[in-house]
Amino acid sequence: MALTYDDVIAKYEPVLGLEVHVELNTKSKMFCGCSTIFGGEPNTQTCPVCLALPGALPTVNEKAIESTIKIGLALNCSIAPFSRFARKNYFYPDMPKNFQISQYDEPICVNGYVDVEIETDEGPKSFRIEVERVHMEEDTGKSLHVGGATGRIHGAEYSLLDYNRAGIPLVEIVTKIVPGTGKYAPEVAKAYVAELRDILRSLGVSDVKMEQGSLRCDANVSLRLIGAQTLGTRSETKNVNSLRSVERAIRGEMIRHAELLNKGERVVQETRHFQEESGLTRSGRSKEQAEDYRYFPEPDLVPVAPDEAWIETLRLALPERPSIHRKRLQEAWAVPDKEMAAMINADVLNIVEATVNLGADPTKARSWWLGEISRIANDKNVAIATLAITPNDVAEIVALVSAGELTDKLARQVIEGVIAGEGKPAAVIAARGIKVVNDDGALMAAIEKVCAEQADTAQKVRDGHLPAAGALIGAVMKETKGQADAARVRELLLGHLGQA
């Protein structure tokens, strides 16, 4: 018997833990000088170090250290005066050394926090999420599973490995356990990841694209009876590839845990995989049989002891906090709270900002992104960020409409064309022959033709039945393939029929 979410929160309270991995945008890898460019031909960005050839040794990327310190500072962490790399030992073909160089008991940043705000029934509420640690590690290679039905690992005959990604710097941000979110756990988690993403983007340390994997979230959830002191058993959910998935995954896990607990069954401590299509999780590696990672200090690398002066320089250069930035934008654009929230919720704020920065009027930029473009994204069931249309495109279209070279209706056609992959606005306009018919002469010709064809209706208008003009305007629009400015047509038509 499936429980509803309300059933769940009536009896249980959730405790969260979030682990976010960020791929840094350094030019070279964490421990070697290979390029980090995305999408290269397989195994063209590898060397003895990231392939773990016998005899190879790691060397630490200075920019990666700097980026990690910046992240720690932006998350209000203390920067450890002394931190060390450690080996995390386990075997997996995508990890060439069969250990990952990471950090264990001496991470570089500790004890920070992030404040998020969400909408509750009682109005906006603030939550402080405490950050346990921020540490550095390296990414793994990519495996292609061949021969199975779905291209997934189950049932594959063999796998093909590309190590271009192996060794790219990763920063792991781990929260302390987050109790007290009650029924808003999914929203709080989503808001946390969104805020983290905005902070990281403002620091310029990563391109934080969840869909591309440069920002990854693992969500840990456990339930306990409301008021209980001890923690329940948690499950870890991976493969959470969007903000929306964060929310759905947590909600789904809370329901799954509650169903088990209600039946008197045990929640198994394990890793689960989030399934986009169903919104449910599938069991993965059982953590109860977890490998012993046998951490020990990495002997090939020496400790990191960043000096105070360097940390101060980085602290002073921190950019404006996203929450302060958002307030500033809201004032500058004179946007009411509800609309501001709508933009944040639809995750279009930075896209709108980019569009405004290219010269577009804020209100117009907002209405296109929140309106037409959001609608298309929803129809296709994809995130706005994945659509082919860019802030540049929208700014261009806004400018064309202002200049009168496009009507709103025509602009919608252009947007549709750009998203469909027909090219940039100028190309779409040219290819489709989109043009506002401005020429009064041409309009008059069309108007006269329509009035002749629909003489009765035209007469009605002459007689003072203005609503009848609608049909005539429609016909004129059809005649001009929708490229006339409807308002101008109405003006001219009424004038022609003596009703100006």
E strand map for 176-293:
215-225, 235-240, 270-274, 281-286
Q: How far is the CB of 151 from other proteins (least distance, A)?
A: 13
Smaller CB distance to other proteins: residue 2 or 158? 158
Beta-strand pair 158-162/142-146: antiparallel
CB 349 within 8 A of CB 343: yes
Cβ proximity to other proteins, 161 vs 442, nearer residue: 161
Cα–Cα dist 348/354, whole Å: 10
Do 131 and 111 contact (CB within 8 A), yes or no?
yes
Question: Smallest distance, Å, CB 131 to other proteins?
Answer: 24
Q: What are phi and psi of 208, to 5 degrees?
A: 30, 55
108 touches 68 (CB < 8 A): yes
Q: Find the shortest distance in angstroms from Cβ 66 to other proteins.
A: 9
Distances in Å between the Cα of 17 and the Cα atoms of 55, 114, 145, 283 are 39, 13, 31, 18
Q: Give 154 or 266: the residue with its C-beta nearer to other proteins.
A: 154
CB of 100 to other proteins, least distance (A): 11
Report the C-alpha gap between 263 and 1 in whole angstroms: 10
Least distance in angstroms from the C-beta of 274 to other proteins:
14
Instruction: Rank residues 175 and 220 by Cβ distance to other proteins and give the closer one.
Output: 220
Q: Which is nearer to other proteins, 273 or 435 (CB)?
A: 273
Nearer to other proteins, 34 or 116 (CB): 34
**Three-class SS state of 160:** strand
Q: Which of 349, 359, 440 is nearest to 403 (CA)?
A: 359
Q: Which CB atom, from 32 or from 191, has the smaller least distance to other proteins?
A: 32
Residue placing its CB nearer to other proteins in the complex, 145 or 183: 145
CB 436 within 8 A of CB 484: yes
Q: Which residue has the tokens 């923690």?
A: 231
In the bound state with other proteins, the residue whose beta carbon lies nearer, of 313 and 402, is 313
Q: Between 300 and 320, name the residue whose CB sits nearer to other proteins.
A: 300
Q: Which of 415, 371, 380, 420 is nearest to 396 (CA)?
A: 415
Given the complex with other proteins, which of 81 and 464 has the nearer CB atom? 81
- The CB-of-262 to other proteins minimum distance in angstroms stands at 28
- Name the burial class of residue 362, with classes exposed (0-12), middle (13-18) and buried (19+) by CB atoms within 10 angstroms of its CB: middle
Sequence-separated (6 or more) residues with CB below 8 Å from residue 35: 27, 28, 29, 45
Rounded to a whole number of angstroms, the minimum distance from the CB of residue 183 to other proteins is: 31
- Beta carbon of residue 148, minimum distance to other proteins (angstroms, whole number): 9
- The CA dihedral of 156, 160, 164, 167, to the nearest 10 degrees, is 60
- Smallest distance, Å, CB 243 to other proteins? 23
Least distance between other proteins and beta carbon 277 (Å): 19
Structure tokens at 287: 């953590």
- Cα 8 to Cα 335: distance, rounded to the nearest angstrom: 37
CB 237 to other proteins: min, Å:
13
Contacts of 313 (CB under 8 A, 6+ apart): none
